Amino acid sequence: MSYTAIVLDEDSRTLAAEVAGRYGIAPIQWDLKLHHVTLAMGKPGFRIGEERELTVTHAGRVEGRVTAFRVSGAGDSCNKVPHVTIAVAKGAKPVESNQIADWREIPPFTIRGKIEICH
């Protein structure tokens, strides 16, 4: 199934990975994601190619399963808490980031991306 997302640019992915490493929220043995912020399932009326600037404000986790950064600037996301999945443990899925309830504030930083349709 396709979905519409803000896909992070390479510089933003690199920066986010560095910050995740600095705070110890991307276990080295986990699968690093840092790809996108989901806006909607399917292809609703978003402007494909539109550039977005997002501010990372918090980090959260489902213990032993998944970690994510909470973002502002994606208020039109279908997710209750807009976020970008950082990493997932073996056997876990990125969608589990939607289950994160405990978000901890971190020093904010900016990431960027473009709206794309993903498969």
Task: Please name the CATH architecture into which domain 3-118 falls.
Answer: Alpha-Beta Complex (3.90)
Distances (CA, A) of 114 to 19, 34, 54, 73, 108: 21, 14, 11, 12, 20
Over its length of 119 residues, how does the chain's per-residue pLDDT go in tens digits? 799 999 999 999 999 999 999 999 988 899 999 999 999 998 778 999 999 999 999 999 999 999 999 999 999 999 999 999 999 999 999 999 999 999 999 999 999 999 999 98
Domain boundaries, the chain: 3-118
Best CA proximity match to 86, nearest among 12, 29, 22, 17:
17
pLDDT at 93: 96
Q: What is the DSSP string of 54-111?
A: EEEEEEEEETTTEEEEEEES-TT-SSSS-EEEEEE-TT--GGGGGG---EEEEEEEEE
Is there a contact between 84 and 69 (Cβ–Cβ < 8 Å)? yes
Question: What pLDDT, on the 0 to 100 scale, is given for residue 83?
Answer: 98
pLDDT at 5: 97
Smallest CA-to-CA distance from 112 within 58, 59, 25, 34 is with 34
pLDDT at site 1: 73
pLDDT value of position 45: 84
Q: What is this structure's pTM?
A: 0.95
